[in-house]
Structure 1
Amino acid sequence: MQKGLVAAILLAIVVIGLGAYTRLTDAGLGCPDWPGCYGRLAVPQQAEHIEHAAKAFPERPLVPHKAWNEMIHRYFAGSLGLLVVGLAVVAFRRKQQRLLAAAAVLLIVFQATLGMLTVTLNLMPLVVMGHLLGGFAMLALLFSWWLLQRRPLQATQQAAPWLWGGLAVLLLQIALGGWTSANYSAIACQGLPLCHEPWTENYRLDAFHPLPEPHSEGYEFGVLEHQQRQTIHVTHRIWAGFTAVYLFLLALSHIQRRHSSIQRARASWMLLLLFCQLALGVANVLWQVPLAVAVAHNLGAALLLLAMLSLVLAHYQLGSTVPMSHDKEMPYGKVEHA
Structure 2
Amino acid sequence: MQISPLLKLTLVFTLCVILMGAYTRLSDAGLGCPDWPGCYGMIKVPTQAHELTQAQLTFPELTVESDKAWLEMIHRYIAGTLGLLVMWILFLCLKTSNAPKNLPLLISGLVLFQAALGMWTVTMKLMPIVVMSHLLGGFTIISLVLLLYLRTKPLTIIGGDPQAKKLATFSLLCLSVLVLQIILGGWTSANYAALACTALPICEGNWYQNLDIINAFSPWQGEHSSFEFGVLEYPARMTIHVAHRIWAIVTAIMLATLAYRLMKSARSSTLRQSAWILLILVGLQIGLGLSNVIFHLPLGIAAAHNAGAALLLLSLVFINYALWRKA
**TM-score, normalized by the shorter chain, greater than 0.5:** yes
Q: CA deviation at 1:196?
A: 1.3
TM-score normalised by structure 1 residue count: 0.91
- Rounded to whole Å, the distance in 2 between the matches of 1:164 and 1:45 is 50
User: 1:188 and 2:196 equivalent?
Assistant: yes
8 Å CA contact 1:153, 1:316 repeated in 2: no
State the match for 1:129 in structure 2: 132
8 Å CA contact 1:118, 1:128 repeated in 2: yes
8 Å CA contact 1:191, 1:285 repeated in 2: yes
Letter in 2 for 1:212: Q
User: 1:250 and 2:258 equivalent?
Assistant: yes
Letter in 1 for 2:243: T
SS across alignment from 2:5: helix
State the match for 2:14 in structure 1: 12
- Rounded to whole Å, the distance in 1 between the matches of 2:256 and 2:138 is 25
8 Å CA contact 1:214, 1:223 repeated in 2: no
State the match for 2:107 in structure 1: 104
1:127-179 deviation per Cα after TM superposition (whole angstroms, max 9, x unaligned):
0000000000011011111111112799x997722111101000000000000
State the match for 1:328 in structure 2: none
State the match for 2:273 in structure 1: 265
- Rounded to whole Å, the distance in 2 between the matches of 1:316 and 1:101 is 21
TM-score normalised by structure 2 residue count: 0.94
Percent identical across equivalent pairs? 46
User: 1:178 and 2:186 equivalent?
Assistant: yes
- Rounded to whole Å, the distance in 1 between the matches of 2:106 and 2:206 is 46
Match of 1:74 among 76, 83, 90: 76
User: 1:164 and 2:172 equivalent?
Assistant: yes
- Rounded to whole Å, the distance in 2 between the matches of 1:83 and 1:254 is 35
Letter in 1 for 2:33: C
1:175-218 deviation per Cα after TM superposition (whole angstroms, max 9, x unaligned):
00000000000000021101112111111112100011243x31
Q: CA deviation at 1:316?
A: 2.7
8 Å CA contact 1:43, 1:64 repeated in 2: yes
Match of 2:36 among 34, 37, 47: 34
8 Å CA contact 1:153, 1:317 repeated in 2: no
SS across alignment from 1:219: coil
Which residues in structure 2 correspond to 1:142-157 (within 5 Å)? 142-151=145-154
1:227-264 deviation per Cα after TM superposition (whole angstroms, max 9, x unaligned):
11000000000000000001100110001113311111
8 Å CA contact 1:91, 1:98 repeated in 2: yes
**Aligned residue pairs: how many?**
318
State the match for 2:324 in structure 1: 316
State the match for 2:291 in structure 1: 283
State the match for 2:88 in structure 1: 86
- Rounded to whole Å, the distance in 2 between the matches of 1:46 and 1:287 is 38
User: 1:297 and 2:309 equivalent?
Assistant: no
- 5+ residue gaps, structure 2, are none
- Rounded to whole Å, the distance in 2 between the matches of 1:97 and 1:279 is 39
State the match for 1:21 in structure 2: 23
RMSD over aligned Cα atoms: 1.7
- 5+ residue gaps, structure 1, are 320-338
- Rounded to whole Å, the distance in 2 between the matches of 1:107 and 1:14 is 17
- Rounded to whole Å, the distance in 2 between the matches of 1:258 and 1:197 is 45
- Rounded to whole Å, the distance in 2 between the matches of 1:269 and 1:289 is 26
Moved over 6 A (4+): 156-159
1:104-129 deviation per Cα after TM superposition (whole angstroms, max 9, x unaligned):
10010010000000000000000000
Letter in 1 for 2:222: E
SS across alignment from 1:196: coil
1:6-30 deviation per Cα after TM superposition (whole angstroms, max 9, x unaligned):
0000000110000000000000000
Match of 1:239 among 247, 268, 273: 247
Q: CA deviation at 1:53?
A: 0.6
